[in-house]
Amino acid sequence: MSAQLSIAKALNEALRKSLENDPKTVLMGEDIGKLGGVFRITDGLQKDFGEDRVIDTPLAESGIMGTAIGLALRGYRPVVEIQFDGFVYPAFDQIVTQLAKMHARALGHVKMPITVRIPYGGGIGAVEHHSESHEAYFAHTAGLRVVTPSNAHDAHWMLRQSIESDDPVIFLEPKRRYWDKGEVGEDPGFPLYSARVVRPGTDATLIAYGPMVKVCQEVAAVAEEDGRRLEVVDLRSVSPIDFATLEESVKRTGRGIVVHEASVFMGVGAEIAARLTERCFYHLEAPILRVGGYHAPYPPSRVEETFLPDLDRVLDAVDRAMAF
């Protein structure tokens, strides 16, 4: 398969392939069957694979996760859809205390091949609990993998790789990019947990994931007009983090800026900044900087653009890094 697809369609095709390839794969979630999901990611799948494999669940996230864990214990490979990011909290107990720990608790004898799909992030003008970025909660929990694609190719292949994994994977989908189109190639190209340089550069490294990768690519294009060559690295995996790729880039450019939508306070950027400072200290020309959301509840949609990192805020960080 090589085609131009939106991220939403690439995810739909990944789910279809996974259902075709493994009869033990089942999809579960609110309104994913007849409706095809709020964002139509599962559109047409119940019609083609039946109500026993594409299951409309009650509005009960904790019950969905508990059922998925039970199915995994019975040899199934569940793919759970949480309708919106803020709806995952009722399932948080099941994810953190059961899903993440079952493998270690059973001394490796029990596998938990569950993929939890969560549309996350802002930028769609939604109400409370529909625009949050909570990746740090899950990345902090040992036993979980946390990944997020930024383009259609990665959306398709990373979802298939996640479903094939025997580890529990939190699969975060950048909902404001669902309609962005891109080429989906015939093979993954990269392992699931590896970072990728999406734009080479020499003066500073922008590190981003999910929806912020596109913003950083726009920043790099603007900065080039001022003679600055910025490297952009798509993290792809938040846990584990491919520090080898980040370290190689930052040692070469001497500057690093981490960009994400979530609050910078105790966020993923804080961990990356600390680790890169430890590993690259004698190569750094400036401190590792962070650009992200504020340490405040996500605001009403009419002012969300002031909360989300944008081109100007990232360019300001680039200026500060270059001024050292």
pLDDT in tens, 107-118: 999 999 999 999
User: Which among 254, 253, 146 is positioned nearest to 199, based on CA atoms?
Assistant: 253
Average pLDDT over the chain reads 96
Q: What is the mean pLDDT of residues 280-299?
A: 96
Which residue type, as a one-letter code, is found at position 235? L
| Burial class of residue 46 (count of CB atoms within 10 Å of its CB; 0-12, 13-18, 19+) | buried
Residue 3 CA to residue 177 CA, distance in Å, equals 17
- Is pLDDT of 77 > 90? yes
Rg (CA), the chain: 19
Contact indicator for 19, 11 with CB cutoff of 8 Å? no
Q: Give the percent of the chain with pLDDT over 70.
A: 100
Active site residues: 130
- 120 strand-pairing partners: 174
pLDDT in tens, 172-220: 999 999 999 999 999 999 999 999 999 999 999 999 999 999 999 999 9
- Is pLDDT of 155 > 90? yes
- 303 strand-pairing partners: none
Tokens (6 digits) for 243: 């520090």
Angle at alpha carbon of residue 54, lines to 50 and 58, rounded to 5°: 120
Tokens (6 digits) for 126: 């939604």
Give me the pLDDT at residue 126, please.
87
In the structure, what pLDDT confidence band is assigned to residue 22 with cuts at 50, 70 and 90? very high
- Is pLDDT of 317 > 70? yes
Distances (CA, A) of 182 to 8, 61, 151, 255: 11, 32, 7, 30
Q: Give the percent of the chain with pLDDT over 90.
A: 95
Give me the pLDDT at residue 1, please.
59
Lowest mean pLDDT across 14-28, 30-44, 297-311? 297-311
Tokens (6 digits) for 14: 């990944």
Give me the pLDDT at residue 127, please.
80
pLDDT in tens, 127-137: 888 999 999 99
Please report which helix (H) or strand (E) contains residue 204, including its range.
strand 204-208
- Is pLDDT of 29 > 80? yes
